[in-house]
Structure 1
Amino acid sequence: MATIRNAREDETETLRDIGLRAWEKAMLNVGEMAGIRDNAQAAFDNFTRKTWLTITVVEKGGVVVGWAAREALDELISDFWIDPPHQHQGLGSALLSAIEADIVRQGFDTARVETHARNDEAVSFFERHGYRINWLTATYSPKLDREVQSVGLSKLLVEDAEATYGPGI
């Protein structure tokens, strides 16, 4: 059974390691990671230490196996990582559902996420959960010190109520 909760400051190294392992798996389609792995590790270390308050974790059997962040506490899910040995067990779905509920509770009607365009597994995961691709771009990533193709996806979480006059029928 999955447990979803807020991250704790003493977990930043665990979160860094999970993020790095999941990132390495996602980057297999890109190739040539050796030159950027150290940059990625430093970026995960910096991110988890500075923004742990924006991170939600998923646990299995009392062990943290994944996490998601909303760095600006808005509708953008800035990070979403499940440790590779724990993928395809419904833990990502449980975490995503909790994050989406937080987004709605905080007054946003749409969730957004961005990922590497060649991260087929992540794109498929979000599409299976109702997200649709909105854009594709290539931009320079200072964290990785290279140009990265990215894709943006979004999902409407709250349907607008149809305007009616008088009592509903």
Structure 2
Amino acid sequence: MVSVRNAREDEVDTLAEIGFRAWEKAMISIGEMTDMRESAFSAFRNFTHSSWLTITIVEQGGSVAGWAAREKLDELISDFWIDPAFQGQGLGKLLLEEIEAQIVHQGFEVARVETHARNAEAVGFFEKHGYSINWLTVAYSPKIDRDVQSVGLSKRLVVEEPETYGPSF
């Protein structure tokens, strides 16, 4: 059985490990992780310990399979990680749908996400689910202490109804 729910404080170490494993898988294909592993794991631990209230998890059969966060509880999905052992099973789609529903419920019309520009798997996942690339940049990331090429993607979640006079045919 699959469920999506809020994270609990007693899960923060598990969430850090899942995030790190998913990050590591993504970075292997990018080829830039050799000297970043320690700082990346530390960043995941620090984030999950300090921000677990902003994290939503997806679990399958009682095991945490992935998580997403909205660090500032706004329209930006700051983290989105599915454990490599659970990827390709539709769990990311379910988690994304829940996060998007939360964004709409809180009054935002657009969801945004940022990822490494060369993370083709993540970019493809979000594009498959209706996101479009809006920008490309290189910026310093204090979490991993280096410059990172990033893309920003967004998706309109609330469709604006056209204003018309009289009945529409």
TM-score by length of 1: 0.97
Percent of matched pairs sharing the same residue:
68
Give the aligned residue type for 1:108.
Answer: F
In structure 2, distance between residues paired with 1:128 and 1:162: 26
Matched, 1:49 2:34: no
23-32 or 97-106: which moved more? 23-32
Deviations along 1:74-131, one digit per CA (max 9) or x if unpaired, are 1000000000010000000000001001111111110000000010000000000000
Secondary structure at the counterpart of residue 42 of structure 1? helix
1:21-40 pair list within 5 angstroms: 21-40=21-40
In structure 2, distance between residues paired with 1:150 and 1:32: 14
Give the aligned residue type for 1:24.
Answer: E
Match of 1:108 in 2: 108
Task: Tell me the C-alpha RMSD between the 2 structures.
Answer: 0.9
TM-score by length of 2: 0.97
In structure 2, distance between residues paired with 1:75 and 1:155: 10
Match of 2:7 in 1: 7
Secondary structure at the counterpart of residue 35 of structure 2? helix
Judged with a 3 Å threshold, the aligned counterparts in structure 2 of structure 1 residues 12 and 124 are, in CA distance, closer, same or farther, namely: same
Match of 2:152 in 1: 152
In structure 1, distance between residues paired with 2:167 and 2:117: 47
Secondary structure at the counterpart of residue 143 of structure 1? coil
In structure 1, distance between residues paired with 2:84 and 2:24: 10
In structure 1, distance between residues paired with 2:10 and 2:63: 14
Matched, 1:81 2:87: no
Give the aligned residue type for 1:53.
Answer: L
Aligned length: 169
In structure 2, distance between residues paired with 1:82 and 1:158: 26
Give the aligned residue type for 2:97.
Answer: S
In structure 2, distance between residues paired with 1:167 and 1:73: 39
Deviations along 1:54-83, one digit per CA (max 9) or x if unpaired, are 000000001111000000001000000000
Deviations along 1:121-146, one digit per CA (max 9) or x if unpaired, are 00000000000000000011111111
31-40 or 10-19: which moved more? 31-40
Unaligned 5+ segments in structure 1 are none
Unaligned 5+ segments in structure 2 are none
Secondary structure at the counterpart of residue 36 of structure 2? helix
